Chain A
Amino acid sequence: MAVLSPRGRRRQSVGAAHRRKQAIVAWLFALPFVAVFAVFMLGPLLASFAMSFTDFTIRDIRDPFAVNIVGLDNFIGVFSDELFRKSLLNTFYFVLVGIPLTMVLGLALAVALNSGIERFRAVFRVGYYTPVVTSIVAVAVVWRFILQDSGLLNTVLGWFGISGPDWLNDPTWAMPSIIAMAAWRNMGTLMIIFLAGLQAIPSEVYEAAEMDGAGPWRRFTMMTVPLMRPTLLLGAVLLSVGFLQVFEEPFVMTSGGPLNSTLSISYFVYNQFGYGAYSFASAGAYVLFALIAALSAVQFRLLRSKDV
């Protein structure tokens, strides 16, 4: 690799040839990743996109090119599928309730850690971040123990004379249970991001506000929140991309039940792949992709706006 040898190379050669050489070197370093990405990610992504316009099913796997092109039939089929529409509503419910809840919890934790409890900050940071890095399967065991009909939560409620529902098996309460679990799993991530944002706010700003007689709540609403806006938006973007794809929680906790009340879009697509309806499932996956892309575009526009 003579290219890499710095010796004997003229320092001032920053011509086009040298830049091209540098680019080649950079690409060589990136090659392993690019190759793996192309074969295992980009290829399937494009194949799946192409597939969504055909009638490819499990019956065609021995002869994948003998399929018919059916235009938008799969997409029409997805939208006219009652179960898909239900999964769409379920996912919106999860996102619209779950994101604000997780954001509020994450911000509350960050503010609490940022003020006062200097000494135990590290302990709390680890404690609240643990759910994020714990295996969902282990988390599910604990949450099932809490939420079972005769579980911990209902036992505690019973002490106060409240007869709690069968959280995971009641169509009304299953989704709220799933949302609570998802919020608990994700608030740690937001806490870390928001904590970084809070610590970037100079303390002089607060001191000035205190001199002017602003109380803690007013300081929070009039200063912390506006100054944190980019960070809050970043949290919202990250969270909505993840939450729109919700799959793990219903998969391990309720299998999409009861009465399909926790069936998410991803879960619907997963089931359709299981039934061998590959082109139909691909269409469903690309509908989800379009949703995430649209929402992200809106959020990035907000992020970029000048008055942030």
Chain B
Amino acid sequence: MNDDPAAGDITVWAMGEEGERLPDFVDGFTQANPEAEVTVTTIPWGDVMTKFQTAVAAGTVPDVIMIGSSFMPTMVATGGLAPVPEGLVDMGDFVEGAADSTVADGVAYGVPWYVETRVLYYRADLAQQAGLEAPKTWDELTAFAQGLVGNGADYGLQLPMGDAEDSSQVILPFFSQAGGVAVEGEEWTLDTDAMVSALEFYGSFFADGLSPLSGYGDTQSNAFIDGTIPTFISGPWMINVLGDLADPEWVEENVETAVVPAGSANNDSYIGGAHLGVFADAPNADGAWKLVRWLSQPETQQAWFDTTNGLPALTTAWDYEPLQSNRRIAVLEEQLANTIAPPTVPSWDELSATLETEAEKVANGVVTPQEAAATIQAKGEALGLGW
């Protein structure tokens, strides 16, 4: 990549709020590159994969696409994305979990744009009543949940259940916290002690009556606000969700966040977010990569945080007063040092459904953690990595 100004039309596909904010935001880029023109098309989250596949199959593609991190492997599998050019950015400057999740089959196909990670949300007022402090280990989390139930809560902790609620987003971190690594070389390594302890730990909350077997999706926020289930693990957006339901001031006073409790190995938490990729058949690849490079600069990432509250994927962008002055963001920053992304392989999508169903069976006492781990591994071996 040279340093000449970008030129020509650059078309971008983006989703959700990012898609709505980006058209005005890229004015900064076109001022610096007057020969270039950026057109942003907003795409609903639900239609992304279909539109992507149609475009790749027909060969009529835009230049740049925002890639929800979980879509990365499937998009790479189609052959529709171009590898990131040498020297465009320094991958070492990004949050490690995010940088890892852009790499598929040994090659980086995207540049991390913004990140989110999951933290522990708890009712500080109720915890104080029960004489409890934020849990730092698995054992403390169990004791924390028990203490809250002893203090009058119906349950201590909300956990997602099954494929419908994407429970792999908490089970995969449990697995990593116990020292598990999902893929080694070309092999799935899921029938391990780490998986057994992750499933045991997950299942124990249901067996001990500390987590409800259902209702997570429907009543999560309400149960948290009325104190019946005063703890859950989720992403930064939940502050606004709770604020809309209750009252932002009440949330400010009574809701605290903390990094997730550590297992025997670490306290890795699930990392999500979005990357920026360029199509293999992009009509204006040069302009596209220059736009991606501009979006990956510290000042741009800081301005983007001001625009959307999207947390910078670039670690060098975090030295910024608005990011440093907020106690909730401080927790997220601490958590971002220890994250785990889903394996960037196409078959994870299908395998995670099996993991979620097996964990559901463990929670319902239908199978043992050992049996479940063996089933998950067998499914992984049947699927391969999917390349």
A residues in contact with B163, CB < 8 Å = 255-257
Q: Determine the distance from Cα of A171 to Cα of B366 in the docked complex, in whole angstroms.
A: 11
A254 located at the interface, meaning its Cβ lies under 8 Å from any Cβ of chain B in the complex = yes
Bin the interface of chain A by size. 20 to 34
Q: Is B164's CB under 8 angstroms from A166's CB? A: no
Q: Is A61's CB under 8 angstroms from B349's CB? A: no
Distance between A83 CB and nearest chain B CB, rounded to angstroms:
9
A residues in contact with B53, CB < 8 Å = 58, 61
**Central interface residue in A64, A254, A256, by most chain B CB within 10 Å:** A256
Given known contacts A169-B213, A276-B74, A259 and B218 CB-to-CB distance under 8 angstroms: no
B309 located at the interface, meaning its Cβ lies under 8 Å from any Cβ of chain A in the complex = no
- In the complex, per-residue mask of A151-190: 1 if CB is within 8 Å of any chain B CB, else 0: 0000000000000001011010000000000000000000
A residues in contact with B264, CB < 8 Å = none
Q: Is A259's CB under 8 angstroms from B360's CB? A: yes
List A residues 260-276 near B (Cβ within 8 Å).
260, 271, 274-276
Q: Is A258's CB under 8 angstroms from B79's CB? A: no
Q: Helix, strand, loop or mixed for chain A's interface? A: loop
Q: Determine the distance from Cα of A276 to Cα of B218 in the docked complex, in whole angstroms.
A: 30
A59 located at the interface, meaning its Cβ lies under 8 Å from any Cβ of chain B in the complex = yes
B residues in contact with A62, CB < 8 Å = 56-57, 59, 78-80
Q: Is A274's CB under 8 angstroms from B79's CB? A: no
Q: Which of B57, B213, B215, B357 contacts A61 (CB 8 A)?
A: B57
| Number of residues from B at the complex interface, CB < 8 A | 29
Using CB atoms, name the residue of chain B closest to A168.
B214
A residues in contact with B164, CB < 8 Å = 254-257
A90 located at the interface, meaning its Cβ lies under 8 Å from any Cβ of chain B in the complex = no
Q: Which of A58, A169, A271 contacts B74 (CB 8 A)?
A: A58
Q: Is A149's CB under 8 angstroms from B364's CB? A: no
Distance between B348 CB and nearest chain A CB, rounded to angstroms:
10
B261 located at the interface, meaning its Cβ lies under 8 Å from any Cβ of chain A in the complex = no
Q: Determine the distance from Cα of A61 to Cα of B214 in the docked complex, in whole angstroms.
A: 39
- In the complex, per-residue mask of B76-108: 1 if CB is within 8 Å of any chain A CB, else 0: 011110000000000000000000000000000
Q: Determine the distance from Cα of A129 to Cα of B30 in the docked complex, in whole angstroms.
A: 57
Q: Determine the distance from Cα of A274 to Cα of B214 in the docked complex, in whole angstroms.
A: 26
A224 located at the interface, meaning its Cβ lies under 8 Å from any Cβ of chain B in the complex = no
Q: Is A258's CB under 8 angstroms from B78's CB? A: no
Q: Which of B56, B214, B361 contacts A166 (CB 8 A)?
A: B214
B residues in contact with A169, CB < 8 Å = 161, 213-215
Q: Which of A168, A257, A258, A276 contacts B346 (CB 8 A)?
A: A276
B residues in contact with A219, CB < 8 Å = none
Q: Which of A59, A254, A259 contacts B357 (CB 8 A)?
A: A259
B residues in contact with A255, CB < 8 Å = 162-164
Number of A-B contacts (CB under 8 A): 70
B350 located at the interface, meaning its Cβ lies under 8 Å from any Cβ of chain A in the complex = yes
Using CB atoms, name the residue of chain B closest to A166.
B214
Q: Determine the distance from Cα of A235 to Cα of B366 in the docked complex, in whole angstroms.
A: 40
**Central interface residue in B49, B163, B347, by most chain A CB within 10 Å:** B163
Distance between B336 CB and nearest chain A CB, rounded to angstroms:
30
Q: Is B218's CB under 8 angstroms from A148's CB? A: yes
A residues in contact with B79, CB < 8 Å = 59, 61-62
List B residues 29-69 near A (Cβ within 8 Å).
49, 53, 56-57, 59
B residues in contact with A274, CB < 8 Å = 49, 349
A85 located at the interface, meaning its Cβ lies under 8 Å from any Cβ of chain B in the complex = no
Q: Determine the distance from Cα of A57 to Cα of B349 in the docked complex, in whole angstroms.
A: 14
B374 located at the interface, meaning its Cβ lies under 8 Å from any Cβ of chain A in the complex = no
B residues in contact with A125, CB < 8 Å = none
Q: Determine the distance from Cα of A64 to Cα of B59 in the docked complex, in whole angstroms.
A: 12
Using CB atoms, name the residue of chain A closest to B213.
A169
A residues in contact with B26, CB < 8 Å = none
Distance between B46 CB and nearest chain A CB, rounded to angstroms:
12
B330 located at the interface, meaning its Cβ lies under 8 Å from any Cβ of chain A in the complex = no
List A residues 59-115 near B (Cβ within 8 Å).
59, 61-62, 64
List B residues 198-236 near A (Cβ within 8 Å).
213-215, 218
Q: Determine the distance from Cα of A290 to Cα of B228 in the docked complex, in whole angstroms.
A: 50
Distance between B119 CB and nearest chain A CB, rounded to angstroms:
26
**Central interface residue in A149, A260, A276, by most chain B CB within 10 Å:** A276
**Central interface residue in B59, B80, B214, B349, by most chain A CB within 10 Å:** B214
Using CB atoms, name the residue of chain A closest to B358.
A259
B353 located at the interface, meaning its Cβ lies under 8 Å from any Cβ of chain A in the complex = yes
Distance between A19 CB and nearest chain B CB, rounded to angstroms:
43
Distance between A175 CB and nearest chain B CB, rounded to angstroms:
15
Q: Determine the distance from Cα of A276 to Cα of B345 in the docked complex, in whole angstroms.
A: 13
Given known contacts A166-B213, A259-B361, A59 and B77 CB-to-CB distance under 8 angstroms: yes
List B residues 334-350 near A (Cβ within 8 Å).
346-347, 349-350
Q: Determine the distance from Cα of A258 to Cα of B164 in the docked complex, in whole angstroms.
A: 8
Q: Determine the distance from Cα of A240 to Cα of B187 in the docked complex, in whole angstroms.
A: 44
Distance between A65 CB and nearest chain B CB, rounded to angstroms:
12
Given known contacts A149-B214, A258-B360, A271 and B162 CB-to-CB distance under 8 angstroms: no
Using CB atoms, name the residue of chain A closest to B164.
A255
Q: Determine the distance from Cα of A96 to Cα of B366 in the docked complex, in whole angstroms.
A: 27
Using CB atoms, name the residue of chain B closest to A62.
B79
Q: Which of B59, B346, B353, B364 contacts A259 (CB 8 A)?
A: B364
Distance between B382 CB and nearest chain A CB, rounded to angstroms:
9
Q: Determine the distance from Cα of A51 to Cα of B366 in the docked complex, in whole angstroms.
A: 38
A residues in contact with B78, CB < 8 Å = 58-59, 61-62
- In the complex, per-residue mask of A237-261: 1 if CB is within 8 Å of any chain B CB, else 0: 0000000000000000011111110
Q: Determine the distance from Cα of A255 to Cα of B166 in the docked complex, in whole angstroms.
A: 11
- 12 A–B contacts from the bound complex (CB under 8 Å): A58-B74, A62-B56, A149-B214, A166-B213, A168-B214, A169-B214, A258-B161, A258-B162, A259-B162, A259-B364, A259-B366, A274-B349
- Interface on B for A, CB 8 Å cutoff? 49, 53, 56-57, 59, 74, 77-80, 161-164, 213-215, 218, 346-347, 349-350, 353, 357, 360-361, 364, 366, 387
6 residue pairs, one from A and one from B, having the closest CB atoms: A169-B214, A255-B164, A61-B57, A275-B350, A257-B162, A257-B164
Q: A58-B78, A259-B361 are in contact. List 13 more A-B contacts (CB 8 A).
A: A59-B77, A61-B57, A61-B79, A62-B56, A62-B79, A148-B218, A149-B214, A169-B214, A255-B163, A256-B163, A258-B214, A259-B360, A274-B49
